[in-house]
Structure 1
C-alpha cells in the first residue's frame, strides 16, 4: 500500500481512482464495509482504491479541549487500512487553514485534480468543507459537474442495538468492555509500544511484566486486569514460525494502588514465562477479555493469591486449560 502525506506526493497521472473519505478512527466493521466497497468497485473497473484521511483528527483541531481520545494512533490506523486491501492512503495534515476550503475547493483539489476520482464512496452523513457545509447532496452535485459518481453506503450494522461507530467503540473501551469493543471492531483492540523498565515489582513477586512506554499507541481502556496476547512484530517478521511471536498474557492497567502508585501503567505478564527479555522491543498487546477491576490489597500475600487466580483465568480463556 502506498502512503502519501501531501497531495503533491501523489504521482502525476495516478488514477483513475475509487475514493472514500473519513477519519477512520479504529477502522471498525462499518469502516470495513466502506473499504470493501471501494476495493470492489476499483477491482471491477481497473481503477485504484484510495482512502483519504486526516492527521490530526479534525476534532483535535476544532475542539482540542473536548476532543475524544483516539482509539488508535496514526501508524496503527495506516496499518489497519492496509489490511483492507486499499491501494493507497492519502493522509492529509488537518489544520484550520485546510478546514477553510469550500466544499468545491476540497473536491476539486483533492478528489478531481489530485486523485482523478471516477467514484467517491461516502455515507449519508458525509460532511466536508468549510463549516461542514458540504453534505451528500453537495457531493452528488459536484460529481455531476466534475465527472465522478457518488456511491452511498448506508449504516451497515449494529451490535447489541448500537450502530457500529468509533463513538461506541470508545465508550465500550472506557468501560473496560474489550469484548464488546471487539464485536464492533471486528478484532481485538490493541495497544502498541516499546517495552520499558518499570519498578521490577512484578519480577520480585514472581510475575515479571513487560511495561509499555507512556507514549504507546491505542486508547488505554478502563483500569483493570485483562486476558490477552502479546505479539512481537519484529520477531514475527524475521522468524515467522517462532513459537515466541505470539504469547498469552495477563495484562494489568492502572496505578498499582497496593503500592500507592500514581502513574497509570500498562504491563503484561506472559503466562508461565520468566525467561523473556523484551526491553527496548516494540510489542502489540491484544486485549481479549476483562477479568476484574483494579483493587487495593492489604499486603502482598492476598495480592499474590489474586494474581495466581488472574493467571489461571487468563490461561483458561486464552488456552482452554
Structure 2
C-alpha cells in the first residue's frame, strides 16, 4: 500500500489528489461486479493521467437504518482499503455515514462531496447507485449534474458471471452461509478473507499438539460453522498454510461464542495481539461433537492431512487473489 492514502472523511483528503476520477459505491466485498466499476475508473484515470480515487461510506448504511439487523460485512473498512490499494488506486475516502448525512439533498451531495470535497473530473458508478435524501439521486440525475457542473459521468452495467447471474454481495453471503467458499471465491474473484486480532483462548489445542491462533469475528458473520483449509497471513505479510475451525467447539464449549481457530502449519510463534488475516480455500467438513479429546485429536490429524493436500495444488484466481492470498 506504499503511496496509497486511506482517508477518513473529506477533511483527510489531500489536495494533490483533487481533480481525479472518482469511483463511488459501498463496494462491500469488492467482488467481480464492483471490480468492473473500479476497473473502468482506473483505466480512465490512467488514460487521462489523473488521480484514481474511490469514495465509499462507513459504516455500512444498513447499520444506520437497520441497527437491529446488522449486515454481514464481507470486507470491513481496513480490508476493503487493502483490496482497493491492490487494484491500483491512489486513495480511498471513507465518508462517515450518519443519519444526518443520509438526509443531504442530492444536489448538495454533488456540490459538497463531489465538487468541493473531491474536485471530481469524472465519476464512475454502477447502475444501482443512489445518493442523497430518500435515495433521490439516481444515475441519470448524476449524469445531468455532471453535464451542468462540468464533470463526466460513466454508469457501468451490472456484471453477470459465467452462469448469467448478476454478481452481488448477497450471493456471496449466501454461498458463505453454506460453507461454499469456492463459489464465494468465483464471485469475488479472490479467496474470501477475514481480518482480526489474535486473542487468547482456552489453549486446549496446545495440550493436544494443535496450538491455534484464535480470532473473534463479528457476531453478524454468517459463515457456515465447520472446518476449512486456509492460508494465514501475519501482520508482517508472511504467509502460512493451515486448517481452521469456525464455530462453537461442541466437544468442549458448545455454549461459547463462535470463534475462528487456526492451526498454522510449520509455525511456532507468539501471535497474541497481532492483527492477521485468514483466507479460505476449501470446506472440509461440518463441526462434530466427539466422544472425547483423543477422538477429536485423531480427526484433527486427518483434517490437517486433507488441508495440506488441498492447499498443495492451489493457484491464484486473479491478480487480486495473488495480492491478498498468495
Same fold (TM over 0.5): yes
Q: 1:196 to 1:145 in 2, by over 3 A?
A: same
Q: Distance in 2 between matches of 1:299 and 1:110?
A: 60
**Residue 246 of structure 2 contacts residue 258 of structure 2 at CA under 8 Å; is this kept in 1?**
yes
2:76 alignment partner in structure 1: 73
1:309 aligns with 2:302: yes
1:224 alignment partner in structure 2: 226
2:277 alignment partner in structure 1: 284
**Residue 20 of structure 1 contacts residue 122 of structure 1 at CA under 8 Å; is this kept in 2?**
yes
Moved more, 199-208 or 277-286: 277-286
1:10 aligns with 2:13: yes
**Residue 190 of structure 1 contacts residue 218 of structure 1 at CA under 8 Å; is this kept in 2?**
no
- Report the Cα offset of residue 161 of structure 1: 4.4
Match of 1:44, SS state, is helix
How is 1:242-253 mapped onto 2 (pairs within 5 angstroms)? 245-253=238-246
Structure 2: unaligned runs, 5 residues or longer: 315-326
1:318 alignment partner in structure 2: 311
How is 1:129-140 mapped onto 2 (pairs within 5 angstroms)? 129-140=132-143
**Residue 242 of structure 2 contacts residue 262 of structure 2 at CA under 8 Å; is this kept in 1?**
yes
Structure 1: unaligned runs, 5 residues or longer: 237-244
**Residue 159 of structure 1 contacts residue 183 of structure 1 at CA under 8 Å; is this kept in 2?**
no
TM-score, normalised with respect to structure 1: 0.90
- Alignment match of 2:264 (pick from 266, 270, 277): 270
- Report the Cα offset of residue 162 of structure 1: 3.2
1:255 aligns with 2:248: yes
1:107 alignment partner in structure 2: 110
**Residue deviations 1:207-241 (CA, integer Å, cap 9, x gap):** 111112x257994621100001111132x3xxxxx
- Alignment match of 1:38 (pick from 33, 36, 41): 41
Q: Distance in 1 between matches of 2:9 and 2:118?
A: 12
**Residue 193 of structure 1 contacts residue 217 of structure 1 at CA under 8 Å; is this kept in 2?**
no
Match of 1:290, SS state, is strand
Q: 1:113 to 1:73 in 2, by over 3 A?
A: same
2:160 alignment partner in structure 1: 157
**Residue 76 of structure 1 contacts residue 217 of structure 1 at CA under 8 Å; is this kept in 2?**
no
2:235 alignment partner in structure 1: 233
- Report the Cα offset of residue 156 of structure 1: 2.3
Q: Distance in 2 between matches of 1:247 and 1:210?
A: 12
- Report the Cα offset of residue 290 of structure 1: 0.4
Q: Could you say what the CA RMSD is over the residues aligned between the two structures, in angstroms?
A: 2.0
